[in-house]
Amino acid sequence: MTGLRTTYSPLVRELFERLPHAGDLAPGPGTVVHGEAIALDRGAWVRYEARIKDGRVADCAFRAWGCPHTLAAAALVASRMQGHCIDAEAAFDAGCLAMELDAPPEKLGRLLVVEDALSGMLARALALQLT
């Protein structure tokens, strides 16, 4: 048996404590899209849900299972997606998240799951807009 050995940045601690945007979207106008990525072997499962209005993310929520870095990254991305244009290049790749959260290298695989869930959601939003 082991104890906690990883260190966590103040931002990870703050996001983990509050988990902003965790849960489900409240009912409201606009189209709702989802994106989900599951990698149990890597220790992460992330699902995003966003309401799209006028080509932008009007609201975003997430559900997730994973380590503190995964949960903090999922919350950080959900916060930053508010008002984000769906066809703009998202600046939330795993490398950027790792840098911003000061995550150790072994967490990169889990942050890729966050990135995959987000990419899936934005791709669906874009596809809906094109149709």
Q: Does 64 bind another protein (CB under 8 A)?
A: yes
Question: Min. distance of Cβ 44 from another protein in angstroms?
Answer: 9
In the DSSP assignment, the letter for residue 4 is -
Q: Does 4 bind another protein (CB under 8 A)?
A: yes
Question: Residue 3 CB: number of other CB atoms within 10 A?
Answer: 4
Helix intervals (H) in 68-107: 68-81, 94-101
Q: Does 124 bind another protein (CB under 8 A)?
A: no
Q: Does 14 bind another protein (CB under 8 A)?
A: no
Distance (Å, rounded) from C-alpha 71 to C-alpha 65? Answer: 7
Of 25-33, 45-53, 81-89, 94-102: span binding another protein (CB under 8 A)? 45-53
Max Cα separation, the chain?
A: 53
Residues of the shown chain interacting with another protein in the complex, contacts defined by CB under 8 A: 1-6, 8, 16, 19, 22-23, 36, 40, 43, 45-47, 62-68, 71, 105-106
